[in-house]
Amino acid sequence: MKEIRGPGGELTEIGKAPGSGIRTERRSSRRKNLALSLLFLTLFFLALLFGFFSMFSTEASSRSSTVSTGTKAAAVSAETFLNREADFALDLLRESAGEDIAAGRNAMISPLSAAEVLSLCAAGAEGKTRSEMEAVIGGGYALSDFHAYVLETNQRLSGAKESKVRLANSIWMKTGLKPNKAFTDVSQKYYQAELFTVPFDRETVAKANDWADRNTFGMIRHVVDSFPDDTVISLMNAAAFQGKWKEPYEASQIWEKQTFTNASGEKEKVTMLVSSEHFYLTLGRAKGFVKEYQDGDLCCLCLLPGKGTDLSTFLKSLSGRKLRKAFLGRHLIGGADTLSVTMPEFSSDYWVDLTSALQKMGIRKAFTKSADLSFFKGGQKAGISSVMQATQITVNRKGTKAAALTGIACGASLAGRSHDYEVTLDRPFVYAILDQETGIPVFLGVVNTVA
């Protein structure tokens, strides 16, 4: 920091020119003092401005994170981070539900829930176990910065007034084991995780299912049948959302006994919701819309592939950053333009084992016997046995209800001219419940059938 000093001293002698009087000397002295005062004030205000802009520079730089690359540190911008998080969402959907989607079944995951419980788990990781988890879920951010991102996201989304958003975490630790303080400090500070000491018996199963029920607004009531015999710790994340449409449907906009053509080409009867919407988007030959809820934090995005393109093929070409770019570049319909939307009411339940998908995406060490996960005092290690997720969504004339429960089980050592746009979701489509501020999917799924 530069040290700014004022004038170095006072005038020690005032010379008197021949023929001048004492008033001339005083005027000269006042002028010099005034000049020095002005110089001092100028430097003072320059220092203030320097500090002012430095503050903004610090804020801007705080939006980037320095992450370890093995040999040097690399700065990752917020935009790069968000694009990578969006890519994580699409990659996870493809890797975990690709076979179901190709078979014509519905699927939905919560990338947010999965990333959050994995980052909580990574708080106890070291070495290669940690670096692999950081690379897959961190989006280029150091794990410490990702913890802060989780906290900010949870606080912002949970603060919605009209819509209900609940994000909760819990740690279930085997009786007799004492937690590692560094791990529990992170879990409390950034995740507000509840800590339970349990024997992992039938009573624990009942308590875990009750916790899921309470934290998903009753949408997911049963997630555990039993715990593996070698379970020493289990981590859970619940993500739940209830939102009413910003613009409610009138009776005249609810059309019964309409037709939806499923992935097999069969005709299914469904109730369609017809409306005029305000945000239109395109992505190659695909087209879609964004529909808002009463609270502006989350929104619903639906994307219809071009005719002749099945969902499985479309998803192979779709990246998270492409989806995010389409969302952020959505076209506001106004003036003489119109956007007519037809959307089916539907409900879907899905359960998926994320273990294989996460291994394919790069988290490998954590699933081995040599995993370096230190949740406990005394140096006892643990390895991930499985990562599972259960989801449920209902979309109807009133709004949307969606929930996810992700669990990790760990065993010991283990504008222009007028346009009329139209989007009719009468065949398989992609949907997402998005964070409006970041464009990151909280829930992400496909509808192949409405039966």
Q: Does any domain span residue 48?
A: yes
Dist CA 349 CA 148 (whole Å): 31
What is residue 159's predicted lDDT score, i.e. its pLDDT? Answer: 82
Q: Taking a C-beta distance cutoff of 8 angstroms, is the pair 235, 173 a contact?
A: no
Whether 42 and 102 share a structural domain = no
**Residue 349 and residue 441 share a domain:** yes
From 38, 62, 86, the end of a domain falls on: 62
- Please tell me whether residues 161 and 195 are part of one structural domain: yes
Is residue 264 situated within a structural domain? no
To 10 degrees, the CA torsion angle through 305, 307, 310, 314? -40
Considering the domain boundaries, does residue 266 fall inside one? no
* Residue 153 shares a structural domain with residue 52: no
Classify residue 218: in a domain, yes or no: yes
In a domain? residue 290 = no
Residue 252, domain member (yes or no): no
Burial of residue 66 (CB within 10 Å: 0-12, 13-18, 19+) is middle
| Same domain? 41 vs 84 | no
Residue 213 domain-assigned (yes or no) = yes
The last residue of one of the domains, among 13, 30, 62, is: 62
Specify whether 53 is located in the same domain as 199: no
- Determine, yes or no, domain membership for 226: yes
Same domain, 85 and 231: yes
Cα–Cα distance between 56 and 423 in angstroms, integer? 43
Pairing of strands 338-344, 420-424: parallel
Nearest to 442 by CA among 105, 53, 164, 255: 164
Total count of domains within the chain: 2
- For residues 136 and 56, membership in a common domain is answered with no
Which helix (H) or strand (E) segment is 208 a member of?
helix 202-215
Q: What is the mean pLDDT of each run of 10 residues along the chain (451 residues)?
A: 38 36 42 42 38 35 35 62 95 97 97 97 95 92 92 89 88 94 95 96 96 96 90 96 95 97 96 96 96 91 95 95 95 89 97 97 95 86 94 97 96 58 94 95 95 88
Q: Is the domain of 49 the same as that of 122?
A: no
| Contact in structure between 402 and 298 (CB atoms under 8 Å) | no
Question: 128 and 155: one domain?
Answer: yes
C-alpha dist (Å) from residue 428 to 100, 311, 342, 436: 13, 7, 13, 24
**What CATH number does residue 139 fall under?**
3.30.497.10
Rounded-to-integer distance, Cα 68 and Cα 391, Å: 34
54 and 88: one domain?
A: no
The pLDDT value given to residue 177: 92
Same domain, 58 and 88: no
Q: Give the range of the structural domain holding residue 181, as residue numbers without chain letter.
A: 75-244+345-447
| Stretch (H or E) spanning 237 | strand 231-244
